Amino acid sequence: MTGLLTFGETMGLVAADGIGPLGHAKSFSFGIGGAESNVAMGVARLGGAATWLGRVGPDATGALIGARIAAAGVRTLAITDESFTGLMVRHRRSGEFAQVDYHRAGSAGSRLSPADVPAAEVTAASILHVTGITPALSESARAAVFQSIETARAAGVAVSLDLNYRAKLWSRYDAAPVLRDLASRADVVFASPSEAGLFVDTADIPAELAKLGPTEVIVKDGGAGCIALIDGERHTVPALPVTVIDPVGAGDAFVAGYLADRLAGAAPLERLTTAIASGAFAVTVPGDCEGAPTRADLAALTGDDVRR
């Protein structure tokens, strides 16, 4: 077993510095972002083994993506495609609202296909992690997700799914049946209340999702913490009080914390506690993946705020 395997599109990220309308921004930062690579980097920073696979363009952004992910300690399988690397542009219109625009139609990442995900990589993994973003990119990317899941299930490899619904990629009507199908094939499912509400009754989200088949259901609810149903046992873990600098990437850090501890053989409550702490730490740092913590960061999170 080689730890976590995940795949999907990672893009260049142009982020306006400061808060206000995009047209008034005076400076910008450039980085990378992608739900799957964020999780892989988060797992690696917490000491787990992780592999990320995806297509990138023959451009500087594609090269940066491969280098940044590898530098985080992730085994990186970047396939160079003839198309361009996708971009996203983000700005904070106000202190409470962030907007992200995608430039990814026809991108290298959207051209992912089943042939890009070798069965040997899937069967060698301890956990296959997928998201609801990749199936929205293209028919070939969707086929890659479903094929990899079936390969994992046949080999006894645990399948983890973060629903990660993106309204700018597909409608609720189109997404709901696909996400429901994916959830029914997964062992571990992560969802926000609104994402789960696409296809289950929200009166008892963990129980309703568990009816579809997963044995581990974790509902991420931001400042309210999380609730989970794991192997039939319910858990509730409150959020940690922190100063929020940038909420983007918190969900991916949460998932990384849970999966890193799962790989390490931790008990369910310990996994959830690490997930909460990882998500809390991530929001204190700007950027999609820059805030993913190490074990030392988590140990310091509830301690003295001055390190000498």
- Catalytic residue set: 252
Whose structure tokens read 């571990």? 188
Nearest to 277 by CA among 264, 305, 296: 296
Amino acid at site 140: S
| DSSP conformation class of 224 | G
Neighbours of 302 (CB within 10 A): 12
β-sheet with 87-94: strand ranges across: 28-33, 11-19, 87-94, 97-103
Task: Classify residue 217 as left (phi > 0), alpha (psi -120 to 50) or beta.
Answer: beta
- What's the CA gap between 162 and 49, in Å, rounded? 19
Q: Do 251 and 192 contact (CB within 8 A), yes or no?
A: yes
- Cβ neighbourhood burial of 176 (10 Å; 0-12, 13-18, 19+): middle
Q: 211 Cβ partners below 8 Å, 6+ apart?
A: 200
DSSP string of 59-78, one letter each residue: SHHHHHHHHHHHHTT-EEEE
